[in-house]
Every structure is written in structure tokens, then in C-alpha cells.
Amino acid sequence: MLDKSSFSAISTLLDDRVEGRSLPAGLYTREDVFQADMDVFFRKHWIYIGPECDVPEPGDATVIDIAGSSLIMLRDDDGEVRVFHNVCRHRGARILDAGTTVVSKLVCPYHQWTYELTGELAYAPHMGKDFDKTCNSLKPVNFRNIGGLIHVCLSDDPPADIAALEAVGRERLLPYDLRNTRVAHQTDLIENGNWKLTMENNRECYHCSANHPELCVSFIDLDFGFDPESLSPEDRETAARHEAMYAARTADWEAQGHPSAAIEQLTNCATNFRTQRLIISGAGESQTPDATAAVSKLLGIGRKDLGDMHLWGHNSWHHFMGDHIITAMVIPLGPDKTLLRMKWLVHKDAVEGVDYDFDKLTSVWIATNEQDGSLVERSHAGVSDPAYVPGMYSPFTETQLNWFAGWYVDRMRAHGY
């Protein structure tokens, strides 16, 4: 797609990246870099497109638009999840509109070409005797169901190292029984910034104490690094106590059969992820205004003392708690525009107003996302300024960003840029 001068400009920008510093401006702002990002990170890597509970029953179908593609995720008559391209094989019309629906077949509204939920073309009038329906099935999409989180790869050559993430899904996510959850709330927030700034913002908590009062009740910003010299004596003591507590709690959880230590695949890999069972602060149960569980009907194995199983992908983050799950999907819309779609999952039988209070469930992350959206916009405006030069990442609080930037450059190189 990109012409030679774009390739060469991008390659120079990748060369310009300095270890320990944020990326050169053009990698955040240029249209051609955005096209390259879509190609490399959203079409040739595994990406997260939503939880399987988006389509709980046979015939349920939902549309996800990402990286220029429109995808249909549905549950077929055998109860299996399937993912297809939302493109009629006749003249290409969109079959389903955005949103969620229930179908018995997939019927293109243009000329009534009709597909089974398996993707097979069942009916195509006026095409004549020589027309071979078997060559005109809906195009399927590679996907993996990882503990209930649906990941797709739009390329025919998907990275094999998804295997490590699949192991995490089996071992750490299945106890939350995502199959038996439902979406209690969803928000679509457009952040006026590059998707990598959205991801960088999510991978550090250096900005949390001054920007996220609601989240900081339950979330411990020091977990993601600190410079002891920057802390007051009291905070330094707190930090030390906290580190000791981590060792004890992790050992305790693991002894009970709940794997908890950090697993990271963040460098020298295609599929970028991190998971760890985190301690929740204060009441210790959930990311709510008072850190107690918001939902009385608990998920899966029914424990609310197992902290927060966090999971990062390169276009997602998730927190699995005893009473609910938040799951965020990042969908780039342009060099300076990114859709953040967040869903709050609760037990499928949990009833609003009976088993949970809506505001208690949702208010922390609604506030946090709005705050982050504003920071990402501020950040994008700055990197777009001719006066921007890549700044130093904190060696204590922004190590993850340094790794992410390095992984980004490596993956671009691996795909020929």
C-alpha cells in the first residue's frame, strides 16, 4: 500500500528511536505510520475483539469494526463461536449493521443472498445453473477463545506464540467462568490521540496519584514502580510493607492452587501480554469506590479474596475480580483518534438493583477512562508539536513503556519496515 518514500521515512523514524526515551514524533502522528501500524499490529498480530458473552445464545451475532475490517462474531446452532468477514460474496455489501442482533440465517439485504450460521451460501437467486455456491461461503476469520476473550488474527499466517497466552487463559481465566457472564454495561470513548499513547498511558501508574482519585482507592500505583528517593519517609515505609505483603499474599494464593505470580511476554515476541494477580487495596475485593465487591452474586468459583487478575494485550487490558470483570478493547480510528471500548461483565444471573448497584459497579472506570482520555489528548497534542523531542522515561515508573516502545520497533522491523 505505502509508497517507497513512506517506507523510507518510517524506517528512518525507527532508526531514530533512542533506548530509554519515548518514540520519535512521526511514529505517533503520521498517516503513513498509522497505515503501517494497522497492517502490522492489527492485521498481522492477534488482537482482542471482545468477550464471548457478547453472543451468549445460538443465533446471537455482533459486529466488530476494526482495522478497516468489519467482523461478524456469532454463536452457531451448535453453540460454537464463529467469526466471519461481514462482506457479502456477491457485490460486497455489508450483511449486518453495527450492533448486536439475533439471526437464524445471515441474509444480505441487497439481493437476499442467504448464508447459514456456518458461513455456507444457502440461497442466491437469479445466478443461473453454472453458479457454484460452494465457492461463495462467507470468509472465516482465524480466532482463539482465550478464557472467554475472543482474539482474532486477520492474516493467514498468525503468530504461533499465542500459545503462551492460551495457557494463561486455561489456567488463570477459566475459574472466572466468562461463558456465564453478561455485559452489564459498555462505553465507547473516543480518545483524541494515537493508539500507542493510549497503550503507554495504560502501562504506567506514574500519572495515577494526581489524576485518578477514584481508581487509587483500590489500585496501588506503587505496584508499577517507584523511585524510593521520591517518596516521603512514610510513603517509603508503606512501600516496603507493601512489597513484603506481596510476597506473602502471592505465596499464599499459589499454595491454595491459584497461580498468581507475574507472567510476561513483552520483548522478543509477537504476542505481547502480561498477567499477574494483584493485591486490591483497602477492603481488598474489587475496583469500586470503597473497594468492596459491587456484585453479591460472585463469578465462577465464588471467591472475592483472590485480588485482581490483571491482563494486558497490545490492544486490550482486563481486570478479573471476584464479583466482576472489566475488559477494554483499543480500536485505532486514525493517527490521532482511538476508540476505547470498555465492558463490565457480571454473573449472567446478577440483576441490577438486586444483586448490584449500577453506579458502584461502573463509576470507578468511567471516571478513570475519562481522565485517561484527557491525558492521551494532551499527550498527542504535545507530540504533534514541532518543539517535541522524545523525553526520558523514568527508569522506575516507566520501564514498561520503554519495553513497549522497543517491542513496537522490533515488530515493525520484523514486518519489513
Which residues of the chain form contacts with its own copies (CB under 8 A)?
A: 3, 5, 22, 25, 43, 68-70, 85-94, 109-112, 125-129, 131, 136, 139, 154, 200, 206-207, 210-211, 225-227, 229-230, 375, 378-379, 381-389, 391-397
Q: Are 162 and 151 in contact (CB under 8 A)?
A: yes
Cβ closest to its own copies, residue 110 vs residue 358? 110
Cell 522506575 found at? 396
Cβ closest to its own copies, residue 198 vs residue 250? 198
Pairing type for strands 263-265 and 337-347 reads unpaired
Q: Give the count of beta carbons closer than 10 Å to the beta carbon of residue 372.
A: 25
C-alpha 415/C-alpha 417 separation (Å) is 6
C-alpha 45/C-alpha 102 separation (Å) is 30
**13 SS3 class:** helix
Cα-based angle 46, 47, 53 (whole degrees, multiple of 5): 120
Pairing type for strands 47-51 and 149-153 reads antiparallel
> Smallest distance from the beta carbon of 210 to its own copies, in angstroms?
5
Cβ closest to its own copies, residue 302 vs residue 395? 395
Q: Give the count of beta carbons closer than 10 Å to the beta carbon of residue 123.
A: 13
> Smallest distance from the beta carbon of 130 to its own copies, in angstroms?
8
Q: Are 159 and 270 in contact (CB under 8 A)?
A: yes
Cβ closest to its own copies, residue 209 vs residue 296? 209
Cβ closest to its own copies, residue 286 vs residue 397? 397
3-class SS string, 117-184: CCCCEEECCCCCCCCCHHHHCCCECEEEEECCEEEEECCCCCCCCHHHHHHHHHHHHHHHCHHHEEEE
List the beta strands (DSSP E) in 180-252.
181-191
Cβ closest to its own copies, residue 5 vs residue 268? 5
Cβ closest to its own copies, residue 255 vs residue 387? 387
> Smallest distance from the beta carbon of 213 to its own copies, in angstroms?
14
> Smallest distance from the beta carbon of 374 to its own copies, in angstroms?
8
> Smallest distance from the beta carbon of 252 to its own copies, in angstroms?
30
